[in-house]
Amino acid sequence: MDKYRLRDNFDEIVNRVERARLKISEYHIVKIVAVSKYVSSKEVRELYDLGQRAFGENRVQDLKQKMEETDDLPLEWHFIGRLQKNKINHLIDLDPFLMQSLDSLELALEIDKRLEAKGKKLNCLLQINSAKEETKAGVLPELAYDEYLKIIENTKHINLKGVMTIGAHTEDEELIKKSFETTYKIFENLKPHGAKICSMGMSNDFELAIACGSNMVRIGSLFFK
């Protein structure tokens, strides 16, 4: 990809995030995670040169490859995809900064067992299926608060840092907004239990997500259009 175009895209995204967060408060900080699943390590390096530090991948093998190819750079890697049980050990060995897609207590218990065996810890977000869509992973919103506390109580090696959701898959902005508001309300209730991150919003809806309180957005296609 042309690096001048990448710079323009980067500047545009940063400016849009900046405008959206300032509408809430000058103190509202939003972290941008660049989703690099459609591009090579070359683009990751170019984005790094522009100032981007956090990157996300949804497949463990792609995460491994990109981490190895950029291991000379101080990058912050996020795992944002659905994790199959046979890939748990591989993910733990990669030691990502954050796993955003912890989608059940059952998975948490399995990961915790493997973490214990390896003497490691893992930072995670609980994924909430706030729009209740069958195609999406995640805990249903009415169960999310209790599930979050159960994970805290029943695991010793998982550090829960907050919540993540994917906005409703629809053109109806009201429905998307409702899915974000639902998650943000759960996040607010979990703050006394250590929740710090509310990861909501992707390329097509991140401004709306920030308006609803998101402090982390996952942007892919907009960087590389």
Q: In the chain, pLDDT over 70 holds for what percent of residues?
A: 100
Domain boundaries, the chain: 3-201+214-219
Average pLDDT, the chain: 97
Angle at which helices 3-24 and 41-50 cross, to 10°: 60
AA identity, residue 83: L
The pLDDT assigned to 163 comes to: 98
Question: Does residue 3 surpass a pLDDT of 90?
Answer: no
Per-residue CA distances from 18 to 5, 170, 219 (Å): 20, 25, 14
- Rounded mean pLDDT of 170-178? 95
> What is the Cα Rg of the chain in Å?
17
187-198 per-position pLDDT tens digit: 999 999 999 999
Contacts of 127 (CB under 8 A, 6+ apart): 100, 101, 102, 103, 137, 138, 139, 163, 164, 165
Is the pLDDT at 1 greater than 90, yes or no?
A: no
pLDDT tens sequence across 31-88: 999 999 989 999 999 999 999 999 999 999 999 999 999 999 999 999 999 999 999 9
Please report, in angstroms and rounded to a whole number, the separation of the first and last CA atoms in the chain: 9
Which residue, chain included where needed, has tokens 């053109």? 171
Q: Determine the pLDDT at residue 91.
A: 98
Give the pLDDT band (50/70/90) at residue 217: very high
The CA distance from 105 to 212, in Å, is 26
Q: Which CATH architecture has domain 3-201+214-219?
A: Alpha-Beta Barrel (3.20)
